[in-house]
């Protein structure tokens, strides 16, 4: 079959099949439950969030921070992104691959956040690259990993984003959201780490030349 994967999606993958999204719903529920807990006990964020200079003392935060969010808007936008990209990815590559990309993307994003923080701490990078004393929380790195992988696997799939009234290719949407990462108080380092992991994962899936069913 010589067709490219994104062309296959547009031509041959309009046949829908039942897909089990239980693992996706579990992750969303876990994020929501932890967020509700932090509403009543906001000090818990200090124990779940990732602070680069405290990682050796709080090693669990490299994972727990992925499921912790700072505000209603933060978790709302992240969970919407997780649902749409996650359900898309599960249909494309299965729930095991989804979990692998999600967690590895989250870890890669957090690792880059910590790395840049320590490089800034030791004056090896300018302060614009991060603050080693700032708590980082959110699933954005993991979500960008899913988006990056899909942008490689099926780059021309049309998608809608809320502030653009016409469909745009998936790869363009991912670039737009990544550029928004440089707005104030957003950990662009985590987004970059997750995105890079996702791009590599997408290349691996694409080389398998699988037929993806949606």
The per-residue pLDDT string of the chain (214 residues; one tens digit each, 9 = 90 and over) reads: 334 444 444 433 444 456 889 999 999 999 999 999 999 999 999 999 999 999 999 999 999 999 999 999 999 999 999 999 999 999 989 999 999 999 999 999 999 999 999 999 999 999 999 999 999 999 999 999 999 999 999 999 988 887 777 888 999 999 999 999 999 989 999 999 999 999 999 999 988 755 444 4
At 160 the pLDDT is 82
> Is 116 within 8 Å of 192 (Cβ atoms)?
no
Instruction: Convert 21-60 to b/e letters by CB count within 10 Å (16 or more is b).
Output: bebbeebbeebeebbeebeeeeeebeebbbbbebbeebee
Q: Residue 183 and residue 38: Cα distance in Å, rounded?
A: 24
At 189 the pLDDT is 96
Domain extents in the chain:
5-207
How many Å from the N-terminal Cα to the C-terminal Cα in the chain?
Answer: 18
> For the whole model, what pTM was predicted?
0.88
At 167 the pLDDT is 86
> Is 79 within 8 Å of 71 (Cβ atoms)?
no
Provide the 8-state DSSP code for 130: -
Residue 164, beta-bridge partner list? 161
At 2 the pLDDT is 37
Task: Give CATH superfamily name and number for 5-207.
Answer: Rhomboid-like (1.20.1540.10)
Give the largest CA-CA distance in the chain.
Answer: 56
Q: Residue 84 and residue 101: Cα distance in Å, rounded?
A: 15
């Amino acid at each position: 079959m010589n067709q490219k994967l994104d062309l296959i999606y547009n031509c041959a993958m309009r046949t829908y099949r039942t897909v089990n999204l239980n693992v996706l719903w579990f992750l969303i529920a876990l994020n929501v439950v932890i967020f509700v807990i932090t509403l009543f006990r906001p000090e818990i964020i200090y124990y779940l969030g990732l602070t680069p200079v405290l990682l050796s003392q709080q090693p669990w935060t490299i994972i727990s921070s992925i499921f912790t969010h700072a505000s209603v808007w933060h978790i709302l936008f992240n969970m919407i992104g997780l649902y749409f990209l996650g359900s898309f990815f599960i249909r494309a590559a299965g729930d095991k691959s989804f979990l692998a990309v999600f967690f590895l993307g989250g870890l890669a994003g957090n690792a880059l956040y910590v790395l840049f923080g320590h490089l800034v701490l030791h004056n090896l990078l300018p302060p614009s690259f991060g603050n080693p004393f700032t708590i980082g929380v959110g699933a954005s790195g993991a979500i960008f990993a899913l988006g990056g992988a899909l942008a490689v696997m099926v780059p021309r799939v049309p998608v809608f984003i809320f502030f653009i009234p016409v469909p745009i290719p998936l790869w363009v949407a991912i670039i737009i959201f990544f550029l928004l990462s440089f707005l104030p108080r957003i950990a662009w380092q985590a987004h970059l780490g997750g995105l890079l992991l996702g791009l590599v994962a997408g290349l691996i899936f694409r080389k398998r030349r699988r037929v993806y069913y949606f």
